[in-house]
Amino acid sequence: MEYVYAALLLHKLEKEVNEANISSVVKASGAEVNDAQVKALVAALADVNIDEAVKAAPVAVAAAAAPVADAAASGEAKEKAPKDTGKSEEAAMEGLSSLFG
């Protein structure tokens, strides 16, 4: 994954996405460079318009951020709610065992 991030970073900075540049970025991050993976990525990206690929990619980051924000906003309400529901662990296990006969 670090190789893809390196390629995206280079593209964003309008630098050439080549083996030497990707290797430099990965080394600078402190990770070990696997030359075979670098070569494979550069070969795979040879015919790809990165701008179009980024635009076509699904936006999972925004969708994942919403539940985190909701959880943070409702954090106070959850803290005030009683944490003990009255079920003992033994009763819960009995219910679970009834599912499996």
Most confidently modeled of 31-35, 44-48, 61-65? Answer: 31-35
Categorize the per-residue pLDDT at 55 as very low, low, confident or very high, splitting at 50, 70 and 90.
confident
In a domain, 62, yes or no: yes
Residue 60 has pLDDT above 90, yes or no: no
In a domain, 12, yes or no: yes
List pLDDT tens digits, range 76-94.
555 555 555 555 666 666 6
In a domain, 98, yes or no: no
In a domain, 44, yes or no: yes
The total number of structural domains that make up the chain? 1
Instruction: Supply the CATH number for residue 3's domain.
Output: 1.10.10.1410
Q: What is the DSSP code (8-state) at residue 41?
A: H
In a domain, 28, yes or no: yes
Summarize the confidence of residues 11-15 as an average pLDDT: 93
- Please give the torsion angle defined by the CA atoms of residues 56, 58, 61 and 67, in that order, rounded to the nearest 10 degrees: 150
In a domain, 15, yes or no: yes
Containing structural domain, residue 66 = 1-80
Nearest alpha carbon to residue 44 among 25, 27, 28, 22 = 22
pTM for the whole thing? 0.55
